[in-house]
Structure 1
């Protein structure tokens, strides 16, 4: 009869333990309910809420600059304007047809879809003004009247769309 060395015994025990643990994990995972992915409508609502939250957070700085309550900082303004312009392109995909079903977390009025041409025009204006803010900031590099005009134009886009298409 051949003797098994203690090293071999430990290694064999370790391999067996990992195999048993893996089998138990796989069994438990198979028995536990898998998370259901969100519906496309719910995903659209989550995406637009996330994008608009970020846009608002980045834009708040420009409102304070325009009011003179925060000093203009070129690096900060450039970062924020670039991100707003980028995010403005994302929201275009956040209102797909079919995402107007009753989602409790949505604040979009049904008018987004029933008056789609006007909504799309407002969205295009918002995107153009977001890009203009980034371009004006890159050119001016200061809280000039031109930058303040670009800030006001974008703020007006937000307000106009919210008044028409966002539920209170």
Structure 2
């Protein structure tokens, strides 16, 4: 008895050929040069600039709260404090070794890398204070002296690092 051209053997052959074609295509694609993206240095600089810009935007509200020019809003303060703490955690990977070399958009001084222990300590202090800020805001729930002290502490962390490690 003759099998039809659409029988199991024919289907297996077609499926095998399709799988082989897919494998050859994937292999050729993997071996072909991919378009080059931005350098790791450029990505690091872009990431840290974005994180610092967002931190500043979220923190500006608290400056107004501390001065009494902006009314404290619990939901807004909670959201902003959480975002500052989250963003502070992204900064560690945004300063890889040599990510200031040849990058004209970087405002990081070379001292970040030549005095790494101090820079890392300042960054860790900022991260710790950002988390403490979240906790104090949750506890205080208002523009209290405790919250204002936490705002001042976090602002001092920013200033201390900028004074030491950011080019003007």
TM-score where L is the length of structure 1: 0.79
CA distance in 1, matches of 2:82, 2:39: 31
Residue in 1 that maps onto 2:90: 90
Residue in 1 that maps onto 2:62: 62
Query: How far apart are 1:35 and its partner, in Å?
Result: 5.5
**How many residues end up aligned between the 2 structures?**
135
Residue in 2 that maps onto 1:127: 127
Residue 43 of structure 2: SS of its match in structure 1?
helix
Residue in 2 that maps onto 1:145: 145
Query: How far apart are 1:97 and its partner, in Å?
Result: 1.0
Runs of 4+ in 1 over 3 A off after TM superposition: none
Unaligned runs of 5+ in 1: 1-33
Residue in 1 that maps onto 2:81: 81
Unaligned runs of 5+ in 2: 1-33
CA distance in 2, matches of 1:135, 1:73: 16
CA distance in 2, matches of 1:60, 1:74: 15
Written as runs of structure 1 = structure 2, the 5 A alignment for 1:1-168 is 36-168=36-168
Query: How far apart are 1:36 and its partner, in Å?
Result: 3.1
